[in-house]
Structure 1
Amino acid sequence: MASVYRALDKRLQRQVAVKVLSPVAAHTPGLPERFLQEARLVASLRHPNIVTVYDYGEQGDHTYMVQELLAGPTLADQLKALAAQGQVFSREQVLAIMRQLTAALDAAHAAGIIHRDVKPSNAIWNERGELVLTDFGIAKNTQLPTEYTQAGMVIGTPDYISPEQARNLPLTPSSDLYSLGVVLFELLAGQTPFHSDTPLAAMLGHMQEAPPPLRPRRPDLPPAVERVVLQALAKDPAQRFRSGGAL
């Protein structure tokens, strides 16, 4: 849908990231409107763990938004590097990561915004050592009636999608918290609970299967930690944590 480039803001003399809508997306009904909505949604949020939008505009045939430049790596990059060494994050590292992501989601939810695509590749470290939630491209503002997603279309990433999102049901902030629960499982175990070779199989796992036991993979975890993960991954949204802070 879009490409991101490193650029220099010559007026302010600072490095920025420029997200440019692809030519195909620019001529696809609904996508330019969704791109503008993304810029407006993120611009309305002011939080150290949520990406900052500086500007939005059009230049010729190109539509773009200007964001803060995040040094990286992504959380997905770190997971991949650890897996290559046969390692996982320590409990202390996981706690620090979760504190930042839950704070970001609580801020978004307080503003009526559901991210709908919480996953490690959308969490990027900045140069100050803060983890920043990015890519609100399919986020929904629950305070607005307009929906730019095609009716009947399931959106999200199969490995991290909530059961209700996989069923294309109306979503609440609890859906994001489920996806964050999947991320939590992956941070502790080194893989997602329902990873599969096909997107459909992964989605069916989220809808129908119990999460695999966590402690056999991480014997160092107290039973209470596994209970937290299982509650975050409850199929019924009413049984999950009520907020990121509670998680």
Structure 2
Amino acid sequence: MPVCKALVTNAPPPPPAPPAPSDLVGRTVGPYDLERLLGQGGFAWVFAGRELDGTPVAVKVLMPRYAGDPQFESRFRNEAETAAKLQHPNIIRIRFVARSGGYVYFGMDLCADSLGARIAREGPLPEADMLRLAADVAKGLGFAHGRGVIHRDLKPDNILLRSDGSAVITDFGIARAVSGYVASTGVNMTIGTPQYLSPEQAQGRALDQRVDFYALGITLFKAAAGEVPFAASDWFELARMHVERPPPGLRKKRPELSKRFERIVLKCLAKHPDDRYRDAAQLLAELAAVEAKPRAGAWWRWWSG
């Protein structure tokens, strides 16, 4: 027994627990004071903070397990720096990309809300609101696509809302960073969000800008119906649905939606890229036509007093 006691006494201490996001609240990372945790994804934490002059910002900090991987860090920083060059009203402005004290981070504008949070609070949104949000997102996508940048992981949580209700896209390049890391290292990591993956992503085929229109279609379906068109607990079954199963009709769930709006969503959700919008300009033209043309029911209510 004394031997056992000696062995226990001389055992090395357990390794320290990995840092938690709460450990960073109240600390300064680079030029930013971190005030509270806003959320977290698979690779990073997002904090609300302030610049030294008091300007409110959001700060995305790469989780230590990934910040400690030089190859992942390099890809993450390169994609963040590429995204920082996308200066457009409907794309989040990235202020600063750097490493400080073992943390890799970037600062960006702080928005009042996100589309994901709004849907969670309010449920299905009015058609007029969805048309405006879709137009904002299409403008941002069109600008990025024109510069050779594809989002690859568009979803409600990556669409932020300013206080005036306008939409801005965030997280450009993150999915590409992960994809490049997986391809070069063979590490098994989830790329993108399964509920929003295009058929070509699910099949591992070549991608172009039309993957973002498919994800926008899923996003608009979620905003309109309060749920995604395809759901399964098994990833492979969900991938099969994206590839093979037609999406349910939106107007069966919400008859008050216009046929024109439903057609836009279903065109975004076409299985083959050639059957979707070829570019953002084409999508914007159809969105504008829906907004400009009053619905028959609305016209009749106005006419009849």
TM-score (norm. length: structure 1): 0.88
| Alignment partner of 1:105 is 2:162 | no
Deviation sequence 1:77-125 (CA, Å, 0-9, x none): 1111223xxxx21111111111111111111111110101000011111
Q: What does 1:150-161 correspond to in 2, within 5 Å?
A: 150-151=182-183, 155-161=191-197
Question: For the Cα contact (< 8 Å) 2:44–2:60, is it kept in 1?
Answer: yes
Partner of 1:2: 44
Q: What does 1:33-182 correspond to in 2, within 5 Å?
A: 33-72=74-113, 74-83=114-123, 88-140=124-176, 148-151=180-183, 155-182=191-218
Question: For the Cα contact (< 8 Å) 1:123–1:133, is it kept in 2?
Answer: yes
Question: For the Cα contact (< 8 Å) 1:30–1:148, is it kept in 2?
Answer: no
Q: Which of 232, 237, 241 is equivalent to 1:196?
A: 232
Runs of 4+ in 1 over 4 A off after TM superposition: none
Question: For the Cα contact (< 8 Å) 2:133–2:166, is it kept in 1?
Answer: no
Q: Flag structure 2 segments of 5+ consecutive residues without an equivalent.
A: 1-42, 284-305
Q: Residue 114 and residue 181 in structure 1: after superposition, are their counterparts in 2 closer, same or farther (change >3 A)?
A: same
> Secondary structure of the residue that 2:253 maps to in structure 1?
coil
Question: For the Cα contact (< 8 Å) 1:162–1:175, is it kept in 2?
Answer: yes
Q: Residue 27 and residue 202 in structure 1: after superposition, are their counterparts in 2 closer, same or farther (change >3 A)?
A: same
Deviation sequence 1:14-69 (CA, Å, 0-9, x none): 11122111110012353201221232122110111111111122222112211111
Q: What letter matches 1:4 in structure 2?
A: V
> Secondary structure of the residue that 2:65 maps to in structure 1?
helix
Q: Distance in 2 between matches of 1:214 and 1:58?
A: 46
- Structure with the largest fraction of helix: 2
Question: For the Cα contact (< 8 Å) 2:66–2:72, is it kept in 1?
Answer: yes
Question: For the Cα contact (< 8 Å) 2:214–2:268, is it kept in 1?
Answer: yes
Identity of aligned residues (%): 37
Question: For the Cα contact (< 8 Å) 1:34–1:137, is it kept in 2?
Answer: no
Relative contact order, higher structure (CA 8 A, sep 6+): 1
Deviation sequence 1:203-238 (CA, Å, 0-9, x none): 211011111122111112233332222211111101
Aligned-CA RMSD value: 1.9
Higher radius of gyration, 1 or 2:
2
The alpha-carbon deviation at position 245 of structure 1 amounts to 2.9
Question: For the Cα contact (< 8 Å) 1:91–1:188, is it kept in 2?
Answer: yes
Q: Distance in 1 between matches of 2:81 and 2:240?
A: 34
TM-score (norm. length: structure 2): 0.72
Q: Distance in 2 between matches of 1:198 and 1:245?
A: 36
Question: For the Cα contact (< 8 Å) 1:105–1:244, is it kept in 2?
Answer: yes
Q: Flag structure 1 segments of 5+ consecutive residues without an equivalent.
A: 142-146
